[in-house]
Each structure stands twice: as structure tokens, then as C-alpha cells.
């Protein structure tokens, strides 16, 4: 069949573009089409590494799962990762090409159009339908001339457009009207439908407004998605997860909310466990009642380490460790747990060397070459938090600059450091997605349950299984509330 496409743009960041694309991908795939997501440019600290060792945004990973296909870097040819307030790491086709200021990147990015079209044309040649996601707002008039992610992408792909607006934050009709009116006549002609997202209440109360906005803009409202409890991974720090605090009888986990926190989706597999409470903490006052502290990944290990030392959070982590509480570090969090971090080339920071938390006899040196790989191996020599898992297969992915060396006991057979245990309470690893290994998660949590006199669990749901169920729920809600006939009409099918 002839390739078809459809693009989803939003009135703002966080309007619901990513989940709308995921819903479209799921529904169209279930209808029998070969579907691929595509986002020309993504800015997020949540990233993933493909089987071929290429880095891409997590949103397209979830959307690929909705399509039932492996995530590949051509789905997200440009990924931007903020490193400081003034610099971003630019990743093209899965590989870093260095750091730039915003002004430098603004001048550079239009030169990436051939790379964008090379990736898009691969999808065009190999799939029936592409579902394209925009970035932020399509009418940021101060930078519209250098656009490669929104209406310019729609023009490059000759794609019809759906506009998504979030009613939960208020001003939905003004944001719809303002967005459409700030477009050029040619851009407005591409907008074929509006979806209102996160609606609470009686749809009949909304209907007069829907009719009037259609008359004002000339664009039909093709669906109103209700506010629901569908649990799909968030793309970036515009997330409600950091504000939520579950209150259940069981295990309390404090996640250190680092300023440059990355891959916080690592925590999602813990969040779905029934007796686990998770809170994100930024100050010592919020700490003290946890059973486990997790120091997550970060795009700027040294500066974030300095910040948690200055705030007093580091002191609380050390105090908790001495009190026998479990401390888990992932990637940058793992590096912080050592005795020293060096950055001789200024890869991440102007600080060339900083003492670590001293929980592990290790030191990390930031190297120029970035490690990006998928990992599969086996555990061995486990006698602490992972005791009983010797011979167990684990998998995940690595994204880090640093090389870590030292005396601590490795629990994989690799020559390099992948994972470390110390005593009965400390576990540190370079593996993102470590908690997606259900036996690892269950074993760690059962150790804490035993300490607290809570009943242990014999089995659990893998995060992959959980995500599939949530995507099926999304498809059901999508079909119930979106005019799929209109979607197919827009696609030209």
C-alpha cells in the first residue's frame, strides 16, 4: 500500500503528544498496519540504547512497544540532552557529536534536515503508516524560522496534523485558538483535527465550547480523552510522578531527585509493586523514614554530587547507610557512591575532581568516549542484597562517560565494572533498567520485607508485561473517545 502519515503537535509541552502518538500507534497496529513512530528532534534526559548501541529518546521506545516492534534510532534521529543551564549534548543518529550552547545549536540544526529525512524516508519505505510527534509548541514565534520538529517537519513529510490540547491545566480553548491563529495559512491548512486531553467531568457541559471552537477555527474536534489512570512512561521532567507520594503499608523508598536526573523511568518497575511507597526527595527534611535510598542517573554527576553535599542530602545518605538502610546507586548515582570522581577533560563540569560519598572503594574517571550499549550477563558472587541470584541472567543498557575502577566485589563476570555489592545493604550498577529484571527487584524487596516482618512475595509481574496491559488499556480508551473513522479519513485510507 501507499505510505500514509499523520502528525501530532501540541499546544505546549506536556499537552499529551507522546501518549496520543502511542494510542494511535497501538490502534493502527491492532488494525493490521505496519506502523512506526517518528520524532525528528527530542529533548529529554530519559534515553535508551538500541541493540546496535545507539541512543534515542524513551518516548519513541514506548511508542515502538505500542507498535510491537524493536526501538531503533531512526525513530528519533536527533536527541538533545541538557548538560548545564547553557549547554546541550547533541546526539545525531544515536551518537553524540558534542556539546553546544543553545545559540550554537540554533544556527546548526537546520543543517540536520538531510539526516532527518534520511531517517524518515527509511520509515516511509518500510512501513505502511508513520505517526509523527512534534516537540513543545508548534508556534514558538521567536524560533520558528529554525523549526525542524513541528510544522516544518509536517511540510517536509507532507503530513496532515492533529493538534492536542490539555484541558486539565486550564485555558484549553484559548490555547487551541491561539495556536491555530499563530500558524500561517499554509500551516493551518494542514491541521485536520483537534484532540482535547485529560478531561474530567460531564462531556455534555463541554459540548457548547467544542462547537464554538470548531466554528472559530474551522477545525473539527475529533475526540476528548478523559483523565485516566493509564500508566505510560513519562518522557521528561514535565511529569507528575515527582509530585506523587503513595501511602501504603510496606516498603518506603526515597529517590534522590537530582537536578539533572536522567532515566528516572528506571524507578517505574518498583512503582508498580503493591506494597512499595516512592517519594522523590530534594532536602534532608524529607528523609529519615525510608527503608531504601536510590541515587538515580544524572547527566551531570559532579555538579549534582556537589549540590546534594551542599544541601545536606549526602550527609543523610551516609547516615542512613551507617544505620543499615539499603542504598542503591544507578549509573551517575553509582559513581557518586565511590571515593572520588575525576573529570580531567571537562566532559560534564568545570570541577576537575570531587570526593564521592565514600560508600564504595572505587573511583571514576570521566573519559571522552561515551559508553552506549545493551547488556546481557549473569550474576555471580552475590551475597548481599542479591544473595540467592547467582547464575541469574540480567539485562539492561548503559549510557555513561565514566570508567570506574577499584577494590569492591564485582557481581558479574565482566572485566569492567557493571555491578557491585558491598555488605548486606549496598548495591550499585551501571545498568539502566535494572529493576525491569523482576527477580532482582523481588529479591531486593524481599530482603527489606524480612527485616520489617512483612510477608515476602514469591512472584511478580515483569515491567514488560505491565506495560503491555497498560498499552491495551490505552487503546481501549482511545477507541472509545477518539473518532477513528475521522483518523482514517485524515490518513486518506
147 and 265: one domain? no
For the chain, the domain total comes to: 2
Residue 66 has pLDDT above 50, yes or no: yes
> Could you give phi then psi for residue 100, rounded to 5 degrees?
-140, 155
474 and 407: one domain? no
337 and 385: one domain? yes
> Could you give phi then psi for residue 114, rounded to 5 degrees?
-60, -35
Distance CA 39, CA 152 (A): 12
78 and 185: one domain? yes
Check if 67 is active-site.
no
Distance CA 313, CA 292 (A): 14
Averaged pLDDT, 438-451: 96
| Contacts with 119 (C-beta within 8 Å, 6 or more apart), sequence order | 38, 40, 73, 74, 75, 77, 93
137 and 273: one domain? no
Q: Output the pLDDT for position 293.
A: 98
| Residue 225 is assigned to a structural domain of this protein | yes
Per-residue pLDDT reduced to its tens digit, 74-87: 999 999 998 876 88
425 and 360: one domain? yes
| Residue 242 is assigned to a structural domain of this protein | no
Averaged pLDDT, 68-97: 93
Instruction: Kindly give the pairing relationship between strand 221-226 and strand 41-43.
Output: unpaired
Looking up residue 139, the CATH number of its domain turns out to be: 3.40.50.300
446 and 474: one domain? no
- What is the band of 1 on the pLDDT scale with cuts at 50, 70, 90? confident
284 and 351: one domain? yes
Instruction: Kindly give the pairing relationship between strand 326-330 and strand 426-429.
Output: parallel
Distance CA 322, CA 138 (A): 51
The distance of Cα 359 from the centroid of its chain, to the nearest Å, equals 28
- What is the band of 260 on the pLDDT scale with cuts at 50, 70, 90? very high
Looking up residue 370, the CATH number of its domain turns out to be: 3.40.50.880
Strands (E), 331-389: 340-342, 353-355, 362-378
Q: Which domain holds residue 261?
A: 251-453
Q: Output the pLDDT for position 237.
A: 47
Q: Which of 25, 67, 331, 382 is catalytic?
A: 331
For every residue of 77-120, which 3-state class applies, written as one string?
Answer: CEEEEECCCCEEEEEECCEEEEEEEHHHHHHHHHHHHHHHHHHH
Per-residue pLDDT reduced to its tens digit, 209-257: 999 999 999 999 999 999 988 998 866 544 555 665 556 789 999 999 9
Average model confidence (pLDDT) across the chain: 94
Q: Output the pLDDT for position 238.
A: 47
22 and 133: one domain? yes
Residue length, the chain?
Answer: 493
| Residue 366 is assigned to a structural domain of this protein | yes
| Residue 246 is assigned to a structural domain of this protein | no
Q: Output the pLDDT for position 203.
A: 93
Q: Which of 260, 382, 400, 432 is catalytic?
A: 432
Per-residue pLDDT reduced to its tens digit, 425-444: 999 999 999 999 999 999 99
Distance CA 48, CA 398 (A): 8
| Residue 422 is assigned to a structural domain of this protein | yes
Let me know how many helices (H) and strands (E) the chain has, helices first: 15, 25
| Residue 238 is assigned to a structural domain of this protein | no
Check if 432 is active-site.
yes
Distance CA 249, CA 49 (A): 36
Q: Is 362 exposed, middle or buried (0-12, 13-18, 19+ CB in 10 A)?
A: buried
Amino acid at each position: 500500500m501507499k505510505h500514509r502519515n499523520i502528525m501530532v503537535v501540541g499546544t505546549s509541552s506536556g499537552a499529551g503528544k507522546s501518549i496520543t502518538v502511542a494510542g494511535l500507534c497501538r490502534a493502527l497496529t491492532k488494525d493490521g498496519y505496519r506502523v512506526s513512530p517518528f520524532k525528528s528532534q527530542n529533548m529529554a534526559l530519559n534515553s535508551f540504547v538500541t541493540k546496535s548501541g545507539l541512543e534515542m529518546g524513551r518516548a519513541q521506545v514506548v511508542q515502538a512497544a505500542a507498535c510491537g516492534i524493536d526501538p531503533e534510532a531512526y525513530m528519533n534521529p536527533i536527541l538533545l540532552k541538557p548538560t548545564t543551564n547553557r549547554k546541550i549534548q547533541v546526539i545525531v543518529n544515536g551518537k553524540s557529536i558534542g556539546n553546544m550552547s543553545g545559540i550554537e545549536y540554533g544556527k546548526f540544526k537546520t543543517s540536520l534536515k538531510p539526516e532527518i529525512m534520511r531517517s524518515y524516508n527509511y520509515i516511509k519505505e518500510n512501513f505502511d503508516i508513520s505517526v509523527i510527534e512534534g516537540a513543545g509548541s508548534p508556534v514558538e514565534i521567536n524560533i520558528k524560522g529554525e523549526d525542524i520538529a513541528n510544522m516544518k517537519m509536517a511540510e517536509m513529510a507532507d503530513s496532515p496534523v492533529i493538534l492536542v490540547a490539555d484541558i486539565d491545566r486550564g485555558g484549553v480553548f484559548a490555547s487551541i485558538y491561539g495556536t491555530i491563529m499563530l500558524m500561517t495559512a499554509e500551516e493551518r491548512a494542514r491541521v485536520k483535527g483537534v484532540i482535547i486531553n485529560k478531561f474530567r467531568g460531564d462531556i455534555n457541559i463541554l459540548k457548547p465550547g467544542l462547537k464554538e471552537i470548531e466554528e472559530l477555527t474551522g477545525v473539527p474536534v475529533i475526540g476528548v480523552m478523559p483523565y485516566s489512570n493509564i500508566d505510560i512512561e513519562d518522557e521528561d521532567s514535565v511529569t507528575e510522578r515527582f509530585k506523587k507520594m503513595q501511602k501504603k503499608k510496606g516498603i518506603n523508598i526515597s529517590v534522590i531527585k537530582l537536578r539533572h536526573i536522567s532515566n528516572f523511568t528506571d524507578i517505574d518497575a518498583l512503582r508498580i509493586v503493591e506494597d512499595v511507597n516512592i517519594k522523590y526527595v530534594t532536602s534532608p527534611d524529607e528523609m529519615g523514614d525510608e527503608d531504601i535510598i536510590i541515587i538515580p542517573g544524572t547527566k551531570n554527576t559532579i555538579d549534582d554530587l556537589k549540590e546534594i553535599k551542599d544541601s545536606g542530602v549526602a550527609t543523610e545518605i551516609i547516615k542512613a547507610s551507617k544505620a543499615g538502610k539499603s542504598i542503591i546507586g544507578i549509573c551517575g548515582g553509582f559513581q557518586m557512591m565511590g571515593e572520588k570522581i575525576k573529570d580531567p577533560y571537562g566532559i560534564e563540569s568545570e570541577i576537575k575532581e570531587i570526593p564521592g560519598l565514600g560508600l564504595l572503594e572505587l573511583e571514576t574517571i570521566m573519559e571522552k568516549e561515551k559508553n552506549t550499549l545493551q547488556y546481557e550477563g549473569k550474576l555471580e558472587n552475590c551475597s548481599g542484597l542479591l544473595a540467592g541470584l547467582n547464575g541469574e541472567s540480567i539485562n539492561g543498557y548503559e549510557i555513561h562517560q565514566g570508567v570506574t575502577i577499584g577494590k569492591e566485589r564485582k557481581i558479574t563476570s565482566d572485566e569492567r565494572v557493571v555491578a557491585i555489592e558491598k555488605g548486606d545493604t549496598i548495591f550499585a550498577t551501571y545498568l539502566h533498567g535494572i529493576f525491569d529484571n523482576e527477580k532482582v527487584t523481588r529479591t531486593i524487596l524481599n530482603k527489606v520485607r524480612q527485616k520489617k516482618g512483612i510477608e515476602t512475595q514469591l512472584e511478580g509481574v515483569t515491567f514488560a508485561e505491565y506495560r503491555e496491559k497498560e498499552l491495551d488499556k490505552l487503546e481501549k480508551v482511545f477507541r472509545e473517545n477518539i473518532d477513528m473513522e475521522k483518523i482514517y479519513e485524515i490518513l486518506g485510507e
